[in-house]
Amino acid sequence: MSYGTSSVTRLPMSGLWWTSELVLYSGSIRLPAVYDATGIPLCEIQTSPTDYALLTQIDLFTFDYSHNLWSLGVGRPAARGVIRSQCGIIYPPFDPNTLASTIVIGYDWTTPPTVPTNFIRRKVVDTVGGINTTAANGLRCSFRFGRGLGMIPSSSIVLWLITNNSVAGIGNPSPDTGITVDIDS
Amino acid sequence: MAIFSLAQRTSGAASSSAALEIIAGANNAFSLKELGITINAATASVFGMGQPAVKGTTPTSVTVLAEDQGNTTAGNTAGALTWGTGPTVPANFVRRVSLPATIGAGLVFTFPRGFNVLKTVTHVLWNIVGNSVADVWFVVDE
pLDDT at B71: 80
Query: Nearest residue of A to residue B137 by CA position?
Result: A121
Flag if B67 and A145 touch (Cβ within 8 Å).
yes
On average, the pLDDT of chain B sits at 94
pLDDT at A141: 80
**Tens digits of residue pLDDT in B6-25:** 999 999 899 999 999 999 99
Pairing, β A156-164 against β A69-75: antiparallel
- Spatial distance between the Cα atoms of B99 and B93, rounded to a whole number of angstroms: 16
pLDDT at A124: 87
Query: Nearest residue of A to residue B2 by CA position?
Result: A14
pLDDT at A57: 84
pLDDT at B102: 87
- Spatial distance between the Cα atoms of A58 and A97, rounded to a whole number of angstroms: 25
pLDDT at B95: 95
Which among A118, A123, A155 has CB closest to B65? Answer: A118
Residues of A with CB under 8 A from a CB of B: 13-17, 52, 68-69, 71, 73-76, 118-126, 145-152, 155, 162
Query: What one-character DSSP code corresponds to residue B39?
Result: E
Interface test with A, best of B34, B39, B135, B142 (most A CBs within 10 A): B135
Tens digit of pLDDT per residue, chain A (185 long)? 332 333 333 333 433 444 445 667 777 777 766 666 788 898 899 988 988 888 888 887 765 555 556 788 999 999 999 988 666 566 555 566 766 777 888 888 899 999 999 999 999 876 544 443 444 556 678 888 888 899 999 999 999 988 876 544 333 334 455 566 666 66
How far is CA A68 from its chain centroid?
22
Flag if B67 and A148 touch (Cβ within 8 Å).
yes
Pairing, β A53-63 against β A10-13: unpaired
Q: What's the ipTM?
A: 0.86
Strand pairing partners for A13?
A16
Flag if B7 and A17 touch (Cβ within 8 Å).
no
For the entire predicted model, the pTM comes to: 0.82
- Spatial distance between the Cα atoms of A185 and A55, rounded to a whole number of angstroms: 9
How far is CA B135 from its chain centroid?
11
Interface test with B, best of A14, A56, A80, A151 (most B CBs within 10 A): A14
Q: Is B38's pLDDT higher than 80?
A: yes
